Amino acid sequence: MNDEKDLRDDDEKDEELEEIKELGTKVVPNNSERIQVLPIIGQVEGHMVLPPQSKSTKYEHLIPQLIAIEQNDDVKGVLIVLNTVGGDIEAGLAIAEMIRSIGKPTVSLVIGGGHSIGVPLATAANYSFISPSATMIVHPVRMTGLVIGVPQTFEYFNKMQERINDFIVRTSKIDKETLNKLLAQTDVLLNDMGTILIGKEAVEYGLIDEVGGIHDALGKLNSLIDGEESHR
């Protein structure tokens, strides 16, 4: 009997290790895990598969994790840890909208960089932190590959930029005029438009709520969880 139990335990451990190896975290947390950590590292991979040597976060992995978090009553809050250079715009914005719609407290922490589509992913949480040396790059939508030079193409890019801007303004303290000004800078990034913000600069512009680290982020998340539970 004990041998059968040991075999089941070993199988469960193997499945858990495989899940961590594949997804970076367990989809359904243990009962003891009040806070679920959601890492978004490297490039956000969407409809196109990135080369195997690229560090990436796959949106088809994050979506079931977010749904599992929402359905699991044992999870009381989510910590999103970001170090991303950006990636697929549609996938990144979809993930950001899902994070924003979670019915539990969420806190984000930018630890290395939150560039491009990483900006709305950082602002999607209820409260956001950035480490002192971390950077955020705000720039207009860019696309590689064949672009058809017709008015409809410009309108497509314009609408996509509007969607991103509206989300950032809706989920942070920055106003639309200031955001557009940061996007239009031409003297900051080499051969590109946009602005790079380091640590406290992101807070001063209203993109991020506070400069801090893991201790601050967990402390804030626990206080949000406790506050929500006290109102029930």
Q: What is the pLDDT of residues 94-137, one digit of tens each?
A: 999 999 999 999 999 999 998 888 999 999 999 999 999 999 99
Active site residue 139: yes
DSSP 8-state assignment for residue 205: T
Between CA 77 and CA 151 the distance in angstroms is 45
Which ranges constitute the DSSP H helices of 24-88? 59-71
Count of helices and strands (H, E) across the chain: 8, 8
Of 115, 131, 139, 172, the active-site residue reads 139
pTM: 0.79
Q: What are phi and psi of 44, to 5 degrees?
A: -80, 115
- Residue carrying the six token digits 């206080």: 223
Of 56, 108, 115, 116, the active-site residue reads 116
Active site residue 223: no
pLDDT in tens, 131-189: 999 999 998 876 654 445 555 555 666 788 899 999 999 999 999 999 999 988 877 66
For 37-230, CATH number out of 3.20.20.105, 3.60.21.10, 3.40.50.10490, 3.90.226.10 equals 3.90.226.10
